[in-house]
Amino acid sequence: MPKPVRPSEEMQRWSVLLEDELSSWPQVSRKKMFGMKTFYRGSNIFAGVPDKRSFFSPNGVIFKISDATPSQIARMKTDKRVMLEFGKVQKWYNFEIKSDKDLQGALIWIGASYERAGKLRP
């Protein structure tokens, strides 16, 4: 497991925006874990945004896609904001946010994660 780091001030602001958006999605609940706010669809976890801690970098959010499709993996490989290394075993991926423009990209990947969580058994 990577060593947690403190989120940047900008990431703290982005986390609030992401948390507000994710909390409005159907069947989503929140919990705190490892200094992050984690999001569940039903009983399946699908994302985490920094609260007091972040993984990998001060500006990263994580999302989980179990059984990612070949096209999703190919897209992740070409998206320089996605870090694939952590997800090999746990199926967790890091998305690096560098500006407000990256929030939309984060929501796209978290949305794919949310959709997959809805198809998993509890």
- How sure is the predictor about 4, in pLDDT bands with cuts at 50, 70 and 90? confident
Taking CA atoms, 66 is separated from 22, 31, 72, 77, 92, in Å, by: 19, 20, 11, 16, 8
* Entry field: residues in the chain: 122
Percentage of the chain modeled with pLDDT above 70? 93
Asked if the model's pLDDT at residue 3 lies above 90, the reply is no
Rg over CA atoms, the chain: 13
CATH number (3.90.79, 3.90.1150, 1.10.3470, 3.40.50) of 9-119 reads 3.90.1150
At residue 2, the pLDDT reads: 63
User: 94-121: per-residue pLDDT in tens?
Assistant: 999 999 999 999 999 999 999 999 988 7
Dump pLDDT digits (tens) for 61-78.
999 998 888 999 899 999
Range 24-32 average pLDDT: 96
Angle at 26 between CA 104 and CA 54, to 5 degrees: 50
Which of 6, 72, 61 shows the shortest CA–CA distance to 39? 61
- Reported as a pLDDT band with limits 50, 70 and 90, residue 17 is very high
Which pTM was predicted? 0.90
